[in-house]
Structures are given as structure tokens and as C-alpha cells.
Amino acid sequence: MNRKIIKDTLSATAEISVTPGYFHENQKDIDIGKFGTLYQEIADRIYNETNMYCGAIISTCKVLYRTQWGCPAGGENGVYITADCNPSYDSEKPAEEYIPLWKETLVSILEALMVELDQTTVTVRFSDNELIYLTK
């Protein structure tokens, strides 16, 4: 068994609702399996453009905000996404080149998911303390 310690890396988290619009009762959401398939399709398409693939771990969640702003009681159905950048996947690129490309690729995937799921905002947090607030 080999171990490789990677000190120059990045991780990210994001949540995205799966029901379009506001003031709903989660009637038109998609399940986690369909979301996973959609994520893979988008990630594959972007990989063909960038030669960078961003794998992820997904789980269901509830996205909560004020009911007066359109959040259903108990929260909107959503998906929590976590991803880790591993520069050792590409021995050709140094980490200082790989990491920014990975970051931009992940954001592109999330933007495409926003369009497909008809969402207006997504917040992405990176372990380097950067937060990107995506809006339509």
C-alpha cells in the first residue's frame, strides 16, 4: 500500500436546491440519482472542453431560508456537494496550474447545474477561505 501526502490542495462545498422557483412545496424536485446522472453528464461535457474532471460526493439536504422569501416550511429539497482537488491525478501539470483549473472547472459545473435546475443562486465555499456567490 502506498501513501502520498498532498499538501498543496483545495476542497469545496456547495448546496443547490433541486426544485425551481420560490413559494413551492418541493413538488417538482429530482431525486439524488437523477441529480448524480446530471452532474456526471455536465462534468463529462466540461471534461471534453478542459481535460479536467471534478468528481464529487453528493448527499441530500434541506436548504433553509426565510419562508417570507419563498422557502417552504422545513426547507427546500437540495443536494450538498463536496469535492477535493487532487493534483496527483495529472502528473503533467504542476499544482499551481492544476488547482486553479480544477477550481474554475468545478464552478463551471455548478453554473451549468444552476441552469439545468432553474436555480437563481448557489454559494460555493473553498478551503482557501474564498466564497463564490453564483447568481443568475
Residue by residue, DSSP assigns 50-62 as: HS-----EEEEEE
Question: How distant, in Å, are the alpha carbons of 4, 18, 87, 90 from that of 1?
Answer: 10, 40, 20, 20
CA distance 40 to 133: 22
Cβ pair 54, 106 in contact under 8 A:
yes
- 4 contacts: CB under 8 Å, gap ≥ 6: 88
Cβ pair 42, 113 in contact under 8 A:
yes
pTM, entire model: 0.92
Q: Can you tell me which residue has the cell 453528493?
A: 58
- List pLDDT tens digits, range 79-120: 999 999 988 877 788 888 999 999 999 999 999 999 999 999
Banded model confidence at residue 22, pLDDT cuts 50, 70, 90: confident
Average per-residue pLDDT for the chain: 93
Domains in the chain with CATH codes: 10-135 (3.30.70)
CA distance 133 to 125: 9
Residue 40 DSSP symbol: H
**Mean pLDDT: which of 41-45, 47-51, 84-88 is highest?**
41-45
pLDDT at position 91:
72
pLDDT at position 27:
84
Kindly state the average pLDDT of the residues 42-59: 96
pLDDT at position 96:
87
Banded model confidence at residue 8, pLDDT cuts 50, 70, 90: confident
State phi, psi for 8 to the nearest 5 degrees.
-105, 95
pLDDT at position 29:
82
